[in-house]
Amino acid sequence: MNDMRPLERAVETKEIKFECRDCQVYYGDTHAIKDVNVDIEDKTVTAFIGPSGCGKSTFLRCLNRMNDTIDIARVEGSFLLDGENIYDKRVDPVQLRAKVGMVFQKPNPFPKSIYDNIAYGPRIHGLAKNKAELDEIVEKSLRRGAIWNEVKDRLDAPGTGLSGGQQQRLCIARAVATEPEVLLMDEPCSALDPIATAQVEELIDELRESYSVVIVTHSMQQAARVSQKTAFFHLGNLVEFGETGQIFTNPKDPRTESYITGRIG
List residues near other proteins by CB under 8 A: 64, 66, 69, 71, 94-95, 97-98, 101-104, 106, 108-111, 120-121, 124-125, 160, 171, 174-175, 177-178
When the beta carbons of 100 and 203 are compared against other proteins, the nearer one is: 100
Report the nearest approach of other proteins to the CB of residue 91 (Å): 13
- Whether residue 100 contacts residue 181, with contact meaning beta carbons closer than 8 Å, is answered with yes
Rounded Cα distance, 246 and 214, in Å: 18
Distance, CA of 200 to CA of 190 (rounded, Å): 11
- Distance from C-alpha of 37 to C-alpha of 58, rounded to nearest angstrom: 14
Minimum distance, C-beta of residue 94 to other proteins, in the bound complex (Å): 5
Of residues 30 and 95, the one with the C-beta less far from other proteins: 95
Task: Pick the closest to residue 190 from 261, 117, 104 (CA basis).
Answer: 104
CB closer to other proteins out of 113 and 228: 113
How far is CA 254 from its chain centroid? 27
Nearer Cβ to other proteins, position 119 or 203? 119
Q: How many helices (H) and strands (E) does the chain have?
A: 11, 10
Cβ proximity to other proteins: between 50 and 109 the closer is: 109
Q: Least distance in Å: CB of 172 to other proteins?
A: 11
Among residues 44, 20, 8, 60, the alpha carbon closest in space to that of 217 is found at 60
Nearest distance from residue 97's CB to other proteins, in Å?
Answer: 4
Is the CB of 185 or the CB of 224 nearer to other proteins? 185
Closest contact distance (angstroms) between CB of 107 and other proteins is 9
Determine how many CB atoms are found less than 10 A away from the CB of residue 214: 29
At its nearest, how many Å lie between other proteins and the CB of residue 109?
7
Strands (E), 119-247: 182-186, 212-216, 229-234, 237-243
